[in-house]
Amino acid sequence: MQTYQIKTIINNTSIFECRCNSMKECVEIAIENNIKLSGVDLSGLNLENINLENINLENIDLSNSDFTRSNLFSSNFTNSNLENAKFIASDLENSIFTNANLENAKLDGAKLKFCNFTNANLKGTILYFSKS
């Protein structure tokens, strides 16, 4: 086990710290403890199979993160950076992506029913076999 920290985007200060086996586990523990994740840097993480249902993920840097086969049902990604993120076969139904950057994101096979992509950057986004 080692110490992991979740830090803010703007001034790189820690908002949550825990001793665990991975950064993914740290994120899960933060959510269990009702830590507000808005405005944090979670870029480049392997978050496959994570359960973030009905979570507020506004203003977060999730670029280059992998959410393959994750449950993100009814989550809010407003103003978040999701560039190059992978959401392959994930449940994103009812999620909000208003003003989000999804450039080159991979949404292959993702459930996208009732999603809101108002003013989202979808340049180069892959939507093959997505379900709406």
Q: How many CA atoms lie within 13 A of 77 on its CB side?
A: 31
* 110 and 74 both lie in a single domain: yes
Instruction: Give pLDDT tens digits for 74-102.
Output: 999 999 999 999 999 999 999 999 999 99
* 112 and 78 both lie in a single domain: yes
- Tokens 């139904």 belong to 93
Distance separating alpha carbons of residues 77 and 60, to the nearest angstrom: 8
Where in the sequence is the domain holding 111, given as residue range(s)? 39-132
* 128 and 105 both lie in a single domain: yes
* 98 and 125 both lie in a single domain: yes
User: Can you name the residues that pair with 101 across neighbouring β-strands?
Assistant: 81, 121
* 50 and 83 both lie in a single domain: yes
pTM of the predicted structure, to 2 decimals = 0.92
Is the pLDDT confidence value at 31 over 90? yes
pLDDT at 74: 98
* 48 and 80 both lie in a single domain: yes
